[in-house]
Structure 1
Amino acid sequence: MTFTLRALLVAASATRVLASCAHGTFLRPRAEEGGAVQVGTFGYIGTIGPLNWAALETPANNACATGTRQSPIDMVEGVFTVLQGSDVQLTVNDMPAGAEFENLGTTVEIITQGGTLNVADKQFELQQFHFHLPSEHLDNGTSQAMEMHMVFQSAAQEIAVVGAYINIADAAPAAATKKRSSRINNNNRRQEAAAPPAAAAITPTTLLETIFSVVDQIATPGTKVTTPPLVMSEVVDLLKANAFQIYAGSLTTPPCSEGVSWHVSTARLGVTPASFTKVRDVIGFNARYPQNTPGQPNLLMISALGSAAAAVADAAAAAA
């Protein structure tokens, strides 16, 4: 089966693949401060894309094609447990002098300056946070505009990731219109009164607007810039005011290592249309396709088995 799978995957570069989801962790120790930004050699399209990550470096990336608890997934009822944000101890230090913001070629990433996630009697230290466009996780079958991943590591080298969806902020509300004429009939009034309340508006998140104000300065992979001062409390407070959907999955980039504790927030962050356009123009498309339900066979294994079965059937038919 291993041979069959490898034969079906297109051969590609044997250059060592670096995992952006693990940047600053034991899987990818961060370079010295002030050193060159390491640019990843995997991608999201063609022969360096997710369908071929396992072939980019074997056996290191084998889990990308054989793992049974791969991320991202469709966040539907039954695949996660819910933990209220008030039950999670989450802190992230402000960065009054700004933070290093770098382009890894596969994403753009903020190198953080302290933060912890305490859950289930374990403490994880914040390493970095980065962005995917569109969202990697689906919200009950629906893709969101972007997703932020905050990567934490424990002393035992375990990985926990907090994921937060990012939507495009609603336009500013229009000026109030004049009251309708009193001639509106009572039936219309009753219909208006019975209408369900509108969904809460998505407003721009100050932290994201501050970060993305300089994203165009790192348009070239391997470049970096220092952001303006970053105040993290707005995002932390929003995350803690909502719930986390928790499941055991993997890194969403090579080597697709499993055992990652995912905490996907029910909160919604927001960016203005202008900021979204700036980010899109820099990072483009960088989302791994949704994986199978945790515990079920890897989609690439299923595909390989199907291809092998079809080849056997064709050979048998030709010999008949």
Structure 2
Amino acid sequence: MHLSVQTLFLAASATRVLASCAHGTFLQPRAEEGGEVKVGTFGYIGTIGPLNWAALETANMVCATGTRQSPIDMAGNVFTLLQPADVQLTVNDMPDGAEFENLGTTVEVITQGGSLAVAGKQFELQQFHFHLPSEHLDNGTSQAMEMHMVFQSATQEIAVVGVYIGIADGAAAAAAKRSTRIDRRQSVSTAPTTLLETIFSVVDQIAVPGTKVKTPPLVMSEVVDLVKAQPFQIYSGSLTTPPCSEGVSWHVSTAKLGVSPASFVKVRDVIGFNSRFPQNTPGQPNILMISALGSAAAAVAVAAAPVIAPPA
């Protein structure tokens, strides 16, 4: 029994190479500008949730077998710290606003130009979207939200800049100003980030999956300047949505954005819960496969246990 399960694990792991990094990432352009918003067929709860993603489509098998899955706990030696000078990040302002869509699985802003240059590779910004709560843990701690800025290279490679979002209110801002200690892994925005407040001011207009709205003008410089002034925690992981393709270059920012309590509630009421649970340390077996092996071993043990007759 042990050998057959192990063989199944190895066979399933081989399917990772079949999953295209572009598939399922909202990178494919719609048929025409302003076309229909495609609503995701996966979810985060029940039979369409992360525990069952691999069963929804054959292409999703790597969600249950991959050994470099995201998100993870950003702690210990799982990442390399990359200094700001080693990263070039630009995002164009959008003076006419941007298309803001409800995909059913997240809310997403379609961007109008931006780039990421790192380690001799050039990536172009496609979109950014939000998860609630944060998908990556910050040294064991979940944050209120996380923004993912998704970039793609000419050779279809994907890089993602992840930025934590905390709830910023008057008390938090006052406490931050009184503090004299600065944690290099947590450069906290002491006030609501203007860009986020602008975007989320219209999030209630796309409460229904498949709908979209034009945002007010978006000035990206506030966020870009904050993010590119701080180190990045980098590692090689995967998409956090099906098909969970690996080879994604993650850059988790040590900066932190802020959102007002009122805006957080508005976003929460639209998005709900949309975070994949933290995965195993990169390079270790997939936690779903470990669970399956454990369940199989337990079933064998139960079947092999002697039957004890009840006392007469």
TM-score range, shorter chain: 0.7 to 0.9
Equivalent pairs counted in the alignment come to: 284
Q: Which residue of 2 aligns with 1:23?
A: 26
Which position in structure 1 is the counterpart of 2:208?
Answer: 220
**Could you say which residue in structure 2 is the equivalent of 1:298?**
286
Q: Superposition pairs for residues 1-320 of structure 1, below 5 Å? A: 1=5, 22-24=25-27, 28-58=28-58, 60-171=59-170, 197=180, 202-318=190-306
Cα distance, 1:173 vs. partner?
Answer: 8.2
**What residue identity is the alignment partner of 1:268?**
K
Relative to structure 1, is the Cα distance of residues 196 and 95 closer, same or farther in structure 2, using a 3 angstrom cutoff? closer
Cα 1:105–1:77 change in 2 (3 A) is same
- CA contact under 8 A between 2:86 and 2:119: conserved in structure 1? no
Gaps in structure 1 of 5+ consecutive residues: 6-17, 176-194
CA distance in 2, matches of 1:174, 1:262: 29
Once residues 106 and 200 of structure 2 are traced to their aligned partners in structure 1, the CA distance between those partners, rounded to angstroms, is 13
Q: Which moved more, 1:30-39 or 1:264-273?
A: 30-39
State the alpha-carbon separation in 2 of the partners of residues 283 and 31 from structure 1.
Answer: 26
Query: Over residues 260-305 of structure 1, what are the superposed CA-to-partner deviations in whole Å (9 max), with x where a residue is unaligned?
Result: 0000000010010000000000000000000000000000000000
TM-score, normalised to structure 1, is 0.84
- RMSD over equivalenced CA pairs, Å: 2.2
Q: Which has the larger radius of gyration?
A: 1
Matched residues in 2 for 1:285 and 1:204: separation? 21
Instruction: For residues 99-142 of structure 1, give each alpha carbon's deviation from its aligned partner in whole angstroms, at most 9, with x where no partner exists.
Output: 00000000000000000000000000000000000000000000
Tell whether the 8 Å contact from 1:71 to 1:252 is kept in structure 2 after alignment.
Answer: yes
Q: 1: CA distance between counterparts of 2:275 and 2:198?
A: 23
Q: CA deviation at 1:170?
A: 2.5
Normalised by the length of structure 2, the TM-score is: 0.86
Deviation at 1:2, TM superposition (A): 8.4
- One-letter code aligned to 1:62: M
Per-residue deviation, residues 58-113 of structure 1 (Å, max 9, x unmatched): 1x000100000000000002000011123211000000000000000000000000
Mapped contact 1:136–1:147 kept (Cα < 8 A): yes
Match of 1:179 in 2: none
- Which ranges in structure 2 are unaligned for 5 or more consecutive residues? 10-21, 183-187
Closer, same or farther in 2 for the Cα pair 1:160/1:219, shift >3 Å?
A: same
The 8 Å contact of residues 145 and 167 in structure 1, kept in 2 or not, is answered as yes
| Contact 2:74-2:137 at 8 Å conserved across structures | yes
Distance 1:290 1:31 in 2: 35
- Structure 2 residue identity aligned to 1:40: G
Read off the aligned partner of 1:39 and give its amino acid letter.
Answer: V
